Structure formats: structure tokens, C-alpha cells
């Protein structure tokens, strides 16, 4: 539905007596009294005021603003059709829904001086009136010029927008100067008849929601809010959250709630559950009930570096001062069910911390679990395509290099900033044994060297693993060094260019072995590969061929094989050969995931 189609619909018993220039013959039983005046937007882009009507009241609204029609938005049915870059509106303070706003249809005059002078009748209740002048634009059939006015002391400049086939518009400095001249006159005034003055009461905006248990509103740029919530009894929580987002999951400012024990997202403000919040089409709102069972939770809310209460670079939402997240409950007694901590405390039982990872890094850490254990895995990386990752982590079982967890194979969430920033936040369970965690990055967009907007939790870029549960015993986790691999019969790894390395081993009884090898394969033949030879017969009992391999991560030519074989008693020789390029520490293309095991390893298989 086009948003401006809602204008003129009776909302909350609102009746428009006139939506244009006032009729001179309209009776005025007594002189008007001004109850609201929001004017002069040279220093401030949004102003608001609250008023209570004791009974149904007839209001006179006079407002001066700016707006222009946008040719191609009409053609392509763009939902952002308010087109008013300086305008006022009124919302119901109880429902937070708009009951009246200035539009191109109900104002008259020139583009940069649009006037509303008319009457409005409202039922008894609490209302909030706002006016915003974020910036300026003008357009024609083949041109469009826009400018955002940033009024912060440290940003005393104007940010330009874009031009579309703009052959005729003037210099942007002229746009800025013209806007500031007009902003001195922009504003909205609200009048009532002198006889009705006693039915009006004023209050500060925004009006608090009833039974609020947590509120983080009026949020600005680059916010990373994380709070702990302890729910003492099952409670229905009313969530009201405003943010910024586009289609296809491109949400910039948003919130979510996570069960601290299971890491399940019990509430998530995403593009499938939000609706338009008024103003610019990217303004979104989520409002509804969430049932929280008894337990511990974490509340998150994040914003990017633009379009917030600090500085709106497009028209703000209808409820601008509530930008952020508010939690409330139905009954006052339910407020005692929720205890929130002002400061979120990170877990103290961290097992692995591979964070703040920079470009072209490959880091790892080993650990041993003496018993089966649930673990919290928290990873932030870069996704290079719909499924593939450029920066990511994984965990292998040390005894045979089998992957037990990989960021690539998990459903990820947007991690804030650029759409390619992705995060995985989940609980996994690993059986007793030794493990190695890895994290690798490509040559761009990592901690401290971002080529696009960074994620909200920059310091955690990488992979961290923590124990969970109040009864955690630190003695159940030990450090594991990668050189301490278990069950190795023979091994040739970290092989460099132009090498042919041999290693002999003896099998005393029929033994089932597992072979794990990485190498280079091009055009369905192997350039770097290994094999096993029976010393007494000279017969090759196993050889790594292209057809038996799978991709090993990184460049397509990185190949990997993992297979089992039974060896009879005897003496064997393990071989590994490389050509003159692309090997350990001398990669001419992206290295494999398990670069430390470039070569061949024979494990004893249970």
C-alpha cells in the first residue's frame, strides 16, 4: 500500500474539517490561542511537543514547510512518497500512530514554501506534535539534487546527495544557503479557540510507555548496546523498536534478544517482521508481544554511522525520539519479573579467543576437553557471496583433522555495517578429546583495515569459544599444542616447493589406517601429492589422485582427500612431492583452509 494513501483516512476518530487553505468564512467563535509553536530549524532538525485534550477539540494548524515532486518515484511506484523534506505531523501518544501529517496533497504553494492552514478535530486524549527539516531536495523530469544538513558542532557542513541526469541544477552551495534561509521560517503552530484553552494540557515528549522495564531511545550513530535481562517468571513483554532497513535483509539499525543459555534468538527485528515507520521508506518499526520464559537473556541494539537521532539524512520516522528499543509489560506487577543489568558482563570462562584478526592472517589455538561439553561459539567474518565466506573460522578434531564445526556451514546473521559482515552465535556440544580452532582472512576488510562499514562488534572480529553453565570446572579444559597430534603413524606436512620427502614406518599387525592429504591439482591431475609404497615389494599401495579429492578451501586447485585403508604387516615408505610453485608458505593463490597440513599424514584408525 502507498503510504500517502493513508492520508485522509479517519484514524483514531480524527476528522479533518479542512485540509488546505483555511476558508475565510469558517466561523471562529472566539480569538485563537496558540498552544504549540515549533519554529526555526537552522540549529535543530527535529522538534516536538505534547498536548492533552480533555475533550473533543477543534484545532487550527498553520505550518510552513518544503517539498517537491519526484518524477521517477511516480513512474516506479516508490513507496517513499511523502516528498516533504520539511514538514510536521501529529501522533497519538498512546498508540504511537500518526493521526495527521503535512503532504504534497494537503499543502499549497511553491516547492520550498509549502503551506498548510486548516482545521482538525481530535478526540480527547494525549497527542505529540513533531516537525522535522532534515535537508533539502529539488527535482524535475530529468534532474534531482539533494542535500543533507548536519547540524552537529563537529559536523558543521552539508553532505551532498546525488544527481540523476542533472544537466540544469545550480551549484550545491546555493542549495545549502537557500535551505538555511528557508529553515528560519519553517515550522508549525497549533491554535485553539480562547474558550477551549482550559481543555488543553502540555507535556514533554516523548510520553513514556506504560509499565516500561527497559528503554534505550533517542539513539545516535555507531551504537552497540548489549544488556543482560534476568526473567524471574514467564512474562509477556511488549517490544517497541524503531530502526533503519531495506529489503532483502539489509537492516542497518536494529535489535534482537538472545537466550543466554541456548543462544536462540527469541526476538529479532528483521525485514520479514517490520513495517514502515513513516517518513523515509527505510524507517522501520517492530511492535508486538514476545513471551519470555524464566531464564537469562541478552538484549542487543546496534546502529550504523548514519541516519539516527544524531543526524537524520532522510525524513525521520513518525516517532523520532523513540528511535531505539523499549520493553514494557501489561501489568505493573509484571515489572518485578524482569531485572536488567546496566552493564553486560562477558563470559569469564573463555577457552579460545582468536579475535581482532587483521588482513591476510591465519591463526589457531588448540584445546582438550576431558569430558563432553557444551560450548558457546561466537564468530564474526566476511561473506563474499550468498554462501561463501572470505573471512571465517572452523574447528577440527586433532586426532584425524575432521571438521566438527565450520562457520561456512552455519546460518549466519547480519553483524552490522556492510551487508557482507556476518556473525554466528550458537551453542554446540563437543565430546571429550582434543581440538584445534582456526580463523583465516583474505587480503581485505578485516579488523582495523575495513574497506567498507565495519561490524558493530569490531573487537570480536574472528572466533571465540567459551564454556557455558554455572557449574563449569576449569580443570576440564586444557591447552593443546598442535604438534601433539594423537594417533599419528607417519607424517610429512608443511612441505615447500620442489620437494620430495620420504618417511618410513612399520606395521606389525593388520592395521586400519586413515590417510589425510592435501595437495595441488590442476586439469584433473596432481602437481603436489603423496603416496604409500611397500618397501619390500616396491609396490605402491595407495596414491593420491585428482579423482578421489575434494576442494580444500581457498583456490580451486587446493585439493584434499581423507580415506581409510587396511595395511598388512610390513615396512612402508610415505612419500610427498611438490612442483615449483604453490606450496606451504609460498602460495601463488589463496591457500587451503588447513595450510599447516599441506602434505600427508597417516593416522591409526580405531
| pLDDT per position as a tens digit, 428-461 | 999 999 999 999 998 899 999 999 989 999 999 9
Give me 21's grid cell: 487553505
What is the DSSP code string of 193-246? Answer: EGGGGGGEEEE-SSPPPTTEEEEEES--SS-EEEEEEEESS-EEEEEEEEEEE-
pLDDT digits (tens, 9 = 90+) for 375-434: 999 999 999 876 688 999 999 998 888 899 999 878 899 898 888 999 999 999 999 999
Phi, psi of 196 (to 5 degrees): -100, 5
Lowest-confidence range among 108-122, 151-165, 555-569, 585-599? 151-165
Q: What pLDDT was estimated at residue 25?
A: 47
Structure confidence at residue 554 as a pLDDT band (50, 70, 90)? confident
Domains 212-341 and 350-482 share a fold: yes
Give me 536's grid cell: 619390500
CATH architecture assignment, domain 350-482:
Sandwich (2.60)
Lowest-confidence range among 122-131, 399-408, 506-515, 531-540? 399-408
Terminal Cα distance for the chain, rounded:
64
| HEC sequence for 161-190 | CCCCCCCCCCCHHHHHHHHHHHHCCCEEEE
pLDDT digits (tens, 9 = 90+) for 161-190: 444 333 334 455 677 788 889 999 999 999
| Helix, strand and coil in the chain, % to nearest 5 | 10, 50, 40
- Rounded to two decimals, the pTM is 0.80
11 has a pLDDT exceeding 80: no
Question: How far apart, in Å, are the Cα atoms of 414 and each of 260, 421, 425, 457, 468?
Answer: 19, 6, 11, 11, 24
Domain 212-341: top CATH class:
mainly beta
* Domain residue spans of the chain: 3-203, 212-341, 350-482, 487-604
Q: What pLDDT was estimated at residue 80?
A: 43
Structure confidence at residue 347 as a pLDDT band (50, 70, 90)? low
Pairing of strands 570-577, 525-534: antiparallel
Give me 435's grid cell: 581440538
CATH of domain 487-604: 2.60.120
508 has a pLDDT exceeding 60: yes
Q: What is the mean pLDDT of the chain?
A: 87
Could you tell me which of 413, 421, 463 has the C-alpha nearest to residue 440? 463
Could you tell me which of 78, 75, 71 has the C-alpha nearest to residue 165? 71
Could you tell me which of 173, 114, 163 has the C-alpha nearest to residue 138? 163
Q: What pLDDT was estimated at residue 382?
A: 95
Q: What pLDDT was estimated at residue 379?
A: 97
Amino acid at each position: 500500500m502507498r503510504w500517502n494513501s493513508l492520508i485522509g483516512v479517519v484514524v483514531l476518530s480524527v476528522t479533518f474539517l479542512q485540509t488546505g487553505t483555511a476558508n475565510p468564512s469558517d466561523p471562529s467563535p472566539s480569538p485563537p490561542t496558540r498552544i504549540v509553536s515549533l519554529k526555526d530549524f537552522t540549529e535543530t532538525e527535529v522538534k516536538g511537543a505534547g498536548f492533552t485534550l480533555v475533550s473533543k477539540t477543534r484545532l487550527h494548524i498553520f505550518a510552513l514547510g518544503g517539498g517537491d515532486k519526484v518524477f521517477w518515484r511516480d513512474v516506479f511506484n516508490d513507496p517513499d512518497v511523502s516528498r516533504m523534506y520539511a514538514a510536521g505531523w501529529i501522533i497519538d501518544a498512546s498508540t504511537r500512530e500518526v493521526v495527521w501529517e503535512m503532504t504534497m496533497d494537503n499543502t499549497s504553494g511553491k516547492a520550498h514554501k509549502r503551506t498548510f492552514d486548516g482545521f482538525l478535530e481530535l478526540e480527547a486524549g494525549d497527542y505529540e506534535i513533531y516537525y522535522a527539516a532534515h535537508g533539502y531536495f529539488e527535482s524535475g523530469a530529468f534532474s534531482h539534487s539533494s542535500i543533507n544538513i548536519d547540524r552537529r558542532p563537529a559536523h558543521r557542513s552539508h553532505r551532498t546527495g546525488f544527481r540523476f541526469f542533472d544537466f540544469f541544477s545550480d551549484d550545491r552551495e546555493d542549495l545549502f544557503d537557500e535551505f538555511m534561509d528557508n529553515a528560519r521560517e519553517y515550522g508549525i503552530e497549533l491554535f485553539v479557540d480562547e474558550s477551549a484553552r482550559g481543555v488543553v494540557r502540555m507535556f514533554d515528549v516523548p510520553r513514556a510507555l506504560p509499565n516500561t522495564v527497559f528503554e534505550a531511545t533517542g539513539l545516535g550513530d555507531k551504537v552497540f548496546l548489549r544488556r543482560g535481562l534476568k526473567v524471574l517468571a514467564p512474562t509477556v513483554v511488549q517490544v517497541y523498536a524503531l530502526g533503519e532497513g531495506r529489503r532483502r535483509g539489509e537492516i542497518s539499525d536494529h535489535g534482537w534478544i538472545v537466550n543466554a543459555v541456548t543462544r536462540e534468538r527469541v526476538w529479532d527485528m528483521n525485514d520479514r517482521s517490520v513495517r514502515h515507520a513513516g517518513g523515509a521508506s527505510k524507517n522501520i518499526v517492530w511492535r508486538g508481544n514476545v513471551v519470555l520464559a524464566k531464564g537469562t537473556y541478552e538484549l542487543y541494539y546496534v546502529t550504523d554511522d548514519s541516519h539516527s537521532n544524531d543526524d537524520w539524512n532522510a525524513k525521520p520516522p513518525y516517532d523520532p525520539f523513540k528511535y531505539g528499543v523499549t520493553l514494557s509489560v501489561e501489568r505493573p506487577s509484571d515489572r518485578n519479573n524482569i531485572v536488567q543489568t546496566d552493564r553486560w558482563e562477558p563470559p569469564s570462562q573463555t577457552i579460545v579467543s582468536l579475535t581482532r584478526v587483521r588482513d591476510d592472517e591465519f591463526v589457531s589455538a588448540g584445546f582438550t576437553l576431558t569430558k563432553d561439553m557444551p560450548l558457546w561459539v561466537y564468530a564474526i567474518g566476511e561473506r563474499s557471496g550468498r554462501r561463501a565466506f572470505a573471512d571465517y573460522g572452523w574447528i577440527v578434531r586433532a586426532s584425524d583433522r575432521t571438521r566438527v564445526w565450520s562457520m561456512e556451514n552455519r546460518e549466519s546473521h547480519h553483524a552490522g555495517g556492510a551487508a557482507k559482515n556476518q556473525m554466528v552465535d550458537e551453542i554446540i556440544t563437543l565430546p571429550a578429546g582434543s581440538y584445534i580452532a582456526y580463523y583465516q582472512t583474505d587480503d581485505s576488510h578485516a579488523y582495523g583495515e575495513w574497506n567498507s562499514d565495519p561490524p558493530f562488534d569490531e573487537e570480536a572480529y574472528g572466533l571465540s569459544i567459551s564454556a557455558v553453565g554455572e557449574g563449569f570446572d576449569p580443570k576440564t579444559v586444557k591447552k593443546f599444542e598442535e604438534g601433539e597430534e594423537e594417533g599419528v603413524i607417519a607424517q610429512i606436512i608443511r612441505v615447500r616447493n620442489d620437494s620430495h620427502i620420504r618417511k618410513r614406518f612399520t606395521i606389525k599387525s593388520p592395521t586400519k589406517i586413515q590417510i589425510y592429504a592435501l595437495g595441488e591439482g590442476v586439469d584433473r591431475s596432481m602437481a603436489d601429492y603423496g603416496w604409500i609404497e611397500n618397501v619390500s615389494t616396491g609396490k605402491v599401495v595407495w596414491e593420491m589422485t585428482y579423482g578421489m579429492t575434494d576442494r580444500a578451501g581457498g583456490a580451486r586447485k587446493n585439493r584434499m582427500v581423507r580415506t581409510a585403508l587396511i595395511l598388512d604387516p610390513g615396512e612402508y615408505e610415505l612419500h610427498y612431492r611438490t612442483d615449483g610453485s604453490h606450496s606451504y608458505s609460498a602460495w601463488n593463490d589463496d591457500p587451503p583452509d588447513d595450510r599447516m597440513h599441506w602434505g600427508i599424514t597417516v593416522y591409526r584408525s580405531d
